[in-house]
Structure 1
Amino acid sequence: MKILLADDEPLALVRLRTLLADLPGVEVVGEARDGEEAADLIEALRPDLALLDIRMPKQSGMSLARALSRDPEVEVIFVTAFDHFALQAFEVDAVDYLLKPVEIDRLATALDRARRRRSGDGQAPQLAVDGEAATEASGCIWAPHRDGLVRVPISTIDWIEASRDYVLLHTPTRSHIVRATMDSLAGQLGEGAMVRVSRSAFVRQTAVAQINRQGRTGSVVILKDGTAVRVGVTYARAVATIFRGLGGVSGRPGGEGDEGRA
Structure 2
Amino acid sequence: MVVDDEPLARSSVTLLLREDPDIQIVGECGSGEEAVSHVRALRPDLLFLDVQMPECDGFDVLEMLGAQVPTAVVFVTAYDQYALRAFEAGALDYLLKPFDDERFRLALRRAKQRAGQAGSSSPKLDHLVIKSVGEVVFLKTAEIDWIEAADYYACVHVGPRTHLLRRSLADLDDELDPAAFCRIHRSAIVNLERVSGLKLNEDGEHEVVLRGGTRLRLSRRYRKQLQERMEKRISRRTESPRVPPA
What TM-score do the two structures reach when normalised by structure 2? 0.45
Task: From the CA coordinates, give the structure whose radius of gyration is larger.
Answer: 2
| Structure holding more helix per residue | 2
What TM-score do the two structures reach when normalised by structure 1? 0.42
